[in-house]
Chains A and B, each alone.
Chain A
């Protein structure tokens, strides 16, 4: 099913016509407080689980829930401005909770939010496989920006690619399937 068919077959009226030549894709709306609540919960879990549940565990570094939440809302809402602002807020909050300099995750998630919104407006992001691939790819993009920011601004050495990073990206991809499906429940009922 291509994006045009999705738009044409949609029973709900919320369609955004972006131009004659552009494919018409759904712009999903969410329940009140869904974006804020989901983001807050992701931040809390990101700070709580590694510190208290997986204390000292190798899994502690593999979880990146704020990234997945940013990615999901960016892909779903398909608004670059909102996407980058949400990414910025979530990233800066993650910086604050993790003790890193404010802006380190913020920059990376700002770019992720912007690009996810831009891509979401052009591609079918509803399919589970595409969501997993996008989560995997965006994890590496996020890590790339994060490492370059650390190297450039903080003058810190950070590995660009490692087994741990690869595993974390796979985890992010696998986690995106159930998480995105769960977040789909927060969408407003269009009927």
Chain B
């Protein structure tokens, strides 16, 4: 080792001498900007190392920060996803409540336009598992509901009460094969009978072939069935053709029977001035959400107490199937 160092001594000495003088020159020489060359060299020598170190530290710090950020973002993402789910659910609830409020508002408005009508609001609580087109309401005998009472919405006739229980009742839709109502054509006042077909439409029978019947003509209740008062909206004629011995007329129900949620039960068949207010109610209902009054969502439909005299109400409750003459209290 020592021998090698001795043999290489001239080279080492030469390198030391040259480096020493180069450094000596660098100390003396100044570059533009009055900066000594040795300082320039020092900066140029150290800057890359500092840059590499800084880059390494920044990369490490960035990677760590990114990892932490990613971890936090992931947690935040999970939390936000859960929150979005909750908000979507809440939004769905609110939309449902808003729709319900609209429907209730329509019911209230309908009720307000018929202050003399003995109406009881009810909520649809279930369908019928059998073949019959029927559903159940949350009102029963305790609420004054009786068999064969009419069930309507602001848009039109729905059906009649088929069975009554203490707190619930079963309603048979107009469109059931056993359903139907006395009907008359709005324009000609020609009477007939609307019968359920088991499908989405009704058949209007007993209208002679000579009678002019136009598609789109409104069909109203005639009151002859002793269930519904006269002039309630029953439906719209969608098809009319000659038949034997009577015309074959298809009627689309005025009420949306496939979207029933709240209905009104007619506690009496007393007659009142139904046509004009009903038309107004339908128009108001078509007007949209702006017509909805302040009705809190999620609350049970209000029991609309009939604003008739107690005696009349009592009479109507006692024997609802009895025909009630118009203007009879």
Chain A residues within CB distance 8 Å of chain B = 80-81, 84-85, 88, 91-92, 101-104, 106-107, 110-111, 114, 118, 149, 153-155
Q: Which of A80, A85, A153 contacts B37, CB < 8 Å?
A: A153
Check B10 for interface membership: any CB of A closer than 8 A: yes
Q: Which of B10, B22, B31 contacts A103, CB < 8 Å?
A: B22
Q: Which of B18, B28, B37 contacts A107, CB < 8 Å?
A: B18
A143 to B13, CA, bound (A): 22
Interface residues of B in 8-27 (CB under 8 A from A): 9-10, 13-14, 17-18, 21-22, 24-26
Q: Which of A80, A149, A155 contacts B31, CB < 8 Å?
A: A155
Check B29 for interface membership: any CB of A closer than 8 A: yes
- Min Cβ gap A87→B in Å is 8
Residues of A within 8 A of B29 (CB): 101, 153-154
The answer to whether A110 and B25 have CB atoms under 8 Å apart is no
A107 to B9, CA, bound (A): 18
Closest to A79 in B: B10
- Min Cβ gap B19→A in Å is 10
- Min Cβ gap A88→B in Å is 5
A145 to B103, CA, bound (A): 103
The answer to whether A107 and B31 have CB atoms under 8 Å apart is no
A85 to B18, CA, bound (A): 10
A183 to B31, CA, bound (A): 42
Residues of A within 8 A of B21 (CB): 88, 91-92, 102-103, 106-107, 110
| Interface mask (B289-318 → A, CB under 8 Å = 1, otherwise 0) | 000000000000000000000000000000
- Min Cβ gap A185→B in Å is 28
The answer to whether A110 and B17 have CB atoms under 8 Å apart is yes
The answer to whether A84 and B31 have CB atoms under 8 Å apart is no
Q: How many interface residues does chain B have, given as a range? A: 10 to 19
Closest to A92 in B: B21
- Min Cβ gap A43→B in Å is 17
Q: Which of A101, A111, A155 has the most CB of B within 10 A?
A: A101
Q: Which of B17, B18, B26, B29 has the most CB of A within 10 A?
A: B17
The answer to whether A84 and B17 have CB atoms under 8 Å apart is yes
Residues of B within 8 A of A110 (CB): 14, 17-18, 21
Residues of A within 8 A of B26 (CB): 153
Residues of B within 8 A of A107 (CB): 18, 21-22, 25
Residues of A within 8 A of B24 (CB): 101-103, 106
A104 to B18, CA, bound (A): 10
A103 to B19, CA, bound (A): 10
Residues of B within 8 A of A91 (CB): 21
Q: Can you name 6 A-B pairs with beta carbons within 8 Å?
A: A84-B14, A103-B25, A110-B21, A114-B10, A153-B26, A153-B37
The answer to whether B25 and A85 have CB atoms under 8 Å apart is no
The answer to whether A104 and B25 have CB atoms under 8 Å apart is yes
Given contacts A153-B29, A153-B37, A155-B31, contact A80 B14 (CB under 8 A): yes
Other contacts beyond A80-B10, A101-B25, A110-B17: 14, CB < 8 A: A80-B14, A92-B21, A102-B21, A102-B28, A103-B25, A104-B25, A107-B18, A111-B14, A114-B10, A118-B10, A149-B25, A153-B22, A153-B29, A154-B29
The answer to whether B28 and A101 have CB atoms under 8 Å apart is yes
Residues of B within 8 A of A81 (CB): 9-10, 13
Closest to A101 in B: B28
A111 to B17, CA, bound (A): 9
Residues of A within 8 A of B37 (CB): 153
- Min Cβ gap A115→B in Å is 10
A84 to B21, CA, bound (A): 12
Closest to A87 in B: B17
- Min Cβ gap A96→B in Å is 11
